[in-house]
Structure 1
Amino acid sequence: MIIIAQININNLSFQYDTHGEDIFKDVSFLIDTNWKLGLIGRNGRGKTTFLKLLMGEYEYRGHISSTVKFEYFPIKVEDKNQTALEVVRQSIAPFSIWEKQMDEYIKIPEKIDMYGEVLEKFIDNDGYTINEIIEKEVRKIGLEADILKRNFETLSSGEQTKLLLVSLFLRKNHFLLIDEPTNHLDSEGREIVAKYLSSKKGFIIVSHDRTFLDNIIDHVLSINKSNIEIQKGNFSTWQLNKDRQDEFEKNENEKLQKDIKRLSETAKQKSSWSNKLEATKTGNGPCDRGFIGHKAAKMMKRAKCIEARQNKAIEEKSKLLKNLDIADKLDFSTLKSEDDVLEIKSLKINYDEKVILDSLSFNIKQGERVWLKGKNGCGKSSIIKLLIGEDISYTGYIKKTDKISYISQETSFLKGRLDDFIKEEKLNSQHLKSTLHKLGFENIQFEKDIKEWSEGQKKKLLIAKSLCEKASLYIWDEPLNFIDVISRIQIEELILSEKPTMLFVEHDNYFGEKIATKTIKL
């Protein structure tokens, strides 16, 4: 009989000292260490915080117990100026609990400088050396073994991500905490990594890419408004169950509201009738005062009974809709244009004497939404930088509107108070804050320094800013990095409803295929 280790979270409570609201309060659940678990929830709900709590980086109340150790992704690389092989070997060396043969070497006093020698001697049960094991794993994730000879710093962000995932899964007897691995991966890279992860087990992964999650996970851990739930299945299964539960609760809520109103009116009526009937006992005329009193008391008893049913309905109603995320409709400040918003002919872009792009021609008409698609490094960002006015060497013809709203990939420049940001960007404060509310923000968030916001919340600020700007063309460069699923759906619905003119780069295929009217593949 195989015994599966479990991670036990019992009465976990946590809040940051800098702001008083609870991130988690008395939550308890179990996780099996062979699960492939997707961690989902709106931005700011505490997904990364939960992973950090498992890693022991914050103090908390309650208990977290586990028979396995945790490892976190992304891994921090101390020295990037060495070969990729050295980076991978160093990242797995301190965690080389490799089967019986390796355990014998580990009995040597644990000094980091001895691990290189230990690894060199190691041969697994199939006769592979450590270098051969690494090469096999590198090929599984879609890279050529030659990449291990290259300097790690010269690799693309996507290549670095894949190599660090490899080194993570080469650490034995660890439960892996993988935080947003897709943000530096193009569409093809996401498919390759999804296939790689689907062959593994024993991890929690945070991602907002619905297709990516569906191809990997077998359980969902959802951080909701009022609780934390675990369900078996992938993201689509969870979404279907969530939609059904929300619909049931909305219908039940409406039914109970009607019942409460009807019962309240009936109770008042019975009580009024009882009082009126009781009043007929007084006076000098002949009447059966005992009968009248008995009937009035009976009517009052019925009124009290109806009131009790009303209170029970109110109590039942209070249990509903606590996890319903109401996604209010967003709005755009678009400007209309009769002419083509953008026209490009025979565009050629050079970078460091290297031709990045050659002979590209396309145009964007009013109402078109153009998806600029291709592998990382094919020139997508160069086109966007050129269009927003950065100094890029090029030849060719470009005609564009001067009313452009831009969302960058980068958020690291965001800091300071929100009110100061609003003044600097000359935005309408009420419009911006209203948009942020619709994207899931609470008022308390506006009081914090923007640099303390989560990456998803910073990205939402850039999206809200763009929605508040009057523009003829919206240029969005990977706008959905770190953005939660509910907000993605809101943005999709807004774009399909308002039909703004757009040029966008996005590696979330579900989003791109849903909103694009035209695709340019580089």
Structure 2
Amino acid sequence: MSTIKVTNLTFAYDGSYDNIFENVNFQIDTDWKLGFTGRNGRGKTTFLKLLLGEYEYSGTISAKVGFEYFPFQVEHKENLTLDIIEEMVPDYQLWELMRELSLLQVSEDVLYRPFESLSNGEQTKVLLAALFLKENSFLLIDEPTNHLDLHARRIVSHYLKSKSGFILVSHDRSFLDHCVDHVLSINKTGIEIQQGNFSDWWENKQRQDHFELAENEKLKKDIKRLSDAAQRTSNWSHEVEKTKNGTRNSGSKVDKGYIGHKAAKMMKRSKSIEQRQQSAIEDRSKLLHNIETSEALKISQLAFHKHQLVELDHVSIDYGEKEVCRDISFTIEQGDRIALSGKNGSGKSSIIKLICGQNIPYTGTFRKGSQLKISYVSQDTSQLQGNLTDYAKEHGIDESLFKSILRKLDFSRIQFEKDISAYSGGQKKKVLIARSLCENVHLHIWDEPLNFIDIMSRMQIEELLLEYSPTILFVEHDREFCQNIATKVIEL
């Protein structure tokens, strides 16, 4: 057991407007299973890159372990998987590798296939198994759940629970809960560490936020009361001071010494109240820095002229060399929130593309309402580029509404000035969702909309769908999101 110490860490990208980290201090035990959370664009992946020594920074990071990053970049994916592993871990023992693959429920035959022929889930499992074979290493695991189906996520979470010595970046709440024992969170003002799983951290955060909001309200009232009291006392002092040059009602001269003493005493009291007021203001200034704002989102969906929007009756999709799904039957009716579920490769994306009007070869009966308008959010964000203004014009949506939604999803105004291609994976996905929320349609279809999106934003989107009950068909592997949102589940 050893520690990783971070001292006075400060970092900003070249040409950036502000620091991503500023004088950050904390330490990590290398035996921890550490969950890493924070809103998109706060610097989670950047911090992992700093640990790897890929960027220059001020401050110090000291560690007696080496760092390994997942996903490992495989250069020659045409090579056999076994050759890839030998390149990653030259001194591995075959029996140890077989043990790791068995824990991840991966068959031995994948080792003798080209790496590029493996599914996304198989590639994820193989790379994790190989990296955990490295001795004296601390793993930096960056969003391993993206594109893993529910079954694969369950396997990987059980696997990570049996391990230690890693930082895990994930936005899947149930996944984090199952396999971490500490949480590292990037807040607005820095980084903090708490013991426990994600639910423990979230409960503590809510408790702290509620306390600070109540304390802030109390101090606000105190400041107002003290301000009024100080003003009254100051006014009284000035009025008393004026009487020094006057006479009593009886015509006798006033006692200037007594009145001066009384005025000074009242002024002293006024100063004391002002000091208490200033102290309350200072106390208040220490609050609310890490409160995460999550304003409510809105969606305005068009009503369709029929109750039933889409029907699939014994639909099979066959690309010739491969049949991806068979005898799929379901309907989409107004108000349905349908989760399309199944293992990767079971035909979920093909069904979505068929409904969206793409030329997909199928048999069976497929009916779609005439003039049905659909808003589609794709898994893929790689083509996003240009500025937000041009993007809004290109898609015929209201720019101010579009940017307002992005602001509610934690975009800073600085982000509006950047090219979309420079955004983080989560920020790009938010662009697609914000665009979809702006479109006037009858049906929303979202294919893995939450990949890379932070937990706070997931909760905002959940609240939106529960409040407005739009008609939506979605594919999503976040178990908690599906349980909270879906009114129907179609299992492929």
* Residue 342 (structure 1) aligned with residue 336 (structure 2): no
Is 1:290 the counterpart of 2:294? The answer is no
Equivalence for 1:487: 457
Per the alignment, residue 197 of structure 2 pairs with: 234
Q: Which residue of 1 aligns with 2:22?
A: 25
The match for 1:78 among 66, 75, 78 is 75
Distance in 2 between residues matched to 1:133 and 1:184, nearest whole Å: 27
Unaligned 5+ residue runs, structure 1? 97-118, 120-129
Indicate yes or no: 2:355 matched with 1:387.
Answer: yes
Partner amino acid, structure 1, of 2:172: D
SS at match of 1:364: strand
| Structure 1 residue 24 displacement after superposition | 0.2
**1:515 is the counterpart of 2:478:** no
Question: Residue 315 of structure 2 aligns to which amino acid in structure 1?
Answer: L
Q: Measure the CA separation in 2 of the matches of 1:333 and 1:468.
A: 8
Scaled by the length of structure 1, the TM-score of the pair is 0.91
State which of 480, 496, 499 in structure 1 corresponds to 2:466: 496
1:145 matched to 2:108? The reply is yes
Shift, 1:215, TM fit: 0.6
Structure 1 position 307 matched with structure 2 position 274: yes
In 1: Cα distance, 2:150 partner to 2:320 partner: 26
Q: Is it true that 1:265 corresponds to 2:228 in the alignment?
A: yes
How is 1:48-197 mapped onto 2 (pairs within 5 angstroms)? 48-93=45-90, 96=91, 130-197=93-160
Q: Tell me which of 1, 5, 10 is aligned to 2:2.
A: 5
Provide the C-alpha distance between the structure 2 equivalents of 1:340 and 1:296, rounded to a whole number of angstroms: 81
The SS at the match of 1:389 is coil
For 1:449 and 1:400, locate their aligned partners in 2 and report how far apart those are by CA, in whole Å.
37
1:428, distance to aligned residue in structure 2 (A): 0.5
Residue in 2 that maps onto 1:362? 330
Residue 214 of structure 1 deviates from its aligned partner by 0.5
Please tell me the residue identity of whatever aligns with 2:231: K
Matched residues in 1 for 2:137 and 2:99: separation?
20
Q: Equivalents in 1 of 2:74, 2:61: separation in Å? A: 28
Q: Are residue 328 (structure 1) and residue 295 (structure 2) matched?
A: yes
- Give the aligned partner of residue 420 of structure 1: 390
Partner of 1:110: none
Aligned to 1:104: none
Q: How many aligned positions are there?
A: 485
Q: Determine the C-alpha separation between the residues in 1 that align with 2:187 and 2:73.
A: 30
Report % sequence identity.
57
Could you report, residue by residue, the CA deviation over 1:75-131 in whole angstroms, capped at 9, with x for unpaired residues? 0112111222222222111xx4xxxxxxxxxxxxxxxxxxxxxx6xxxxxxxxxx22
| Greater alpha carbon shift after TM alignment, 183-192 vs 331-340 | 331-340
Of 196, 211, 215, the residue aligned with 2:174 is 211
**1:406 matched residue in structure 2:** 376
What amino acid sits opposite 1:132 in the alignment? W
Deviation at 1:391, TM superposition (A): 1.7
SS in structure 1 at match of 2:54: coil
Separation of aligned partners in 2, 1:353 and 1:232: 51
Unpaired runs of at least 5, structure 2: none
Shift of 1:448: 0.9
Matched AA of 2:437: L
Say what the alpha-carbon RMSD is for the aligned residues. Answer: 1.1
Letter in 1 for 2:367: K
CA distance in 2, matches of 1:189, 1:18: 41
